[in-house]
Amino acid sequence: MPDFFGGEGTSQWTMIIPLIGLIVFSIFMRRRKTESTPQDIATSLLSDMNANQGIVEQAGSQMRPTKLKIASWQRNNDKLGFLDNETRSSIINFFKMAEDFNMQMESAKRFKSTSYISGINTERMKEPLAKGREGLQEWMKVNMQQAGPGAGRQGCLPGMGG
């Protein structure tokens, strides 16, 4: 069997295999990161909502719209007690519609039919998306300032400019 590394094959593999394992482990851990504070949860939700803003705006003009991002919602939907009722209600309403949208997208893909997509009304998603984003941004402005320097995340917050 040829030696692809030009030397003793076993010593090379003993270094490469753990390195590959470490890379795979770090990728897995990054994707499975859970948000532990209200600031982390709000930042994660706002990040998904900002991405979804563009998807919702372009969905009507695309033949095959992109699925909406709902991973943060799926991880944190039972941890929204720190938000005011109106913001929480808007977020819940939007992400329930987003889940329905994604299921219709899956059906269209599975059955190779655009009829599932033609019935999707993204206009009704715009208001709860906008209200939820505004509420999260406001909550973050107030709560990140109260936390003071050195607490929570540093730098520019998603969707808040700067």
- Residue 62, judged by CB atoms within 10 A of its CB (0-12, 13-18, 19+), counts as exposed
Rounded to whole angstroms, how far apart are CA atoms 133 and 63? 27
Q: What are 70-119's pLDDT values in tens digits? A: 999 999 999 999 999 999 999 999 999 999 999 988 888 887 776 666 66
Q: Identify the residue with better confidence: 13 or 41.
A: 41
Provide the token pair at 97.
């519609």
Indicate yes or no: pTM above 0.75: no
In angstroms, what CA-CA distances link 135 with 6, 32, 107, 117, 158?
60, 26, 32, 30, 13
More confident residue, 148 or 133: 133
Burial of 32 (0-12, 13-18, 19+ CB in 10 A): exposed
Looking up tokens 């540093």, which residue turns up? 154
**Is the CA virtual torsion 161, 79, 31, 68 positive or negative?**
negative
Q: In this model, does residue 4 exceed pLDDT 90? A: no
**What are the tens digits of pLDDT across the range 32-41?**
556 789 999 9
* 136 contacts 46 by C-beta, under 8 angstroms: yes
- Residue 13's SS3 state is helix
Judge whether residue 5 has pLDDT over 70.
no
CB 12 within 8 A of CB 5: yes
Structure tokens at 31: 């994707």
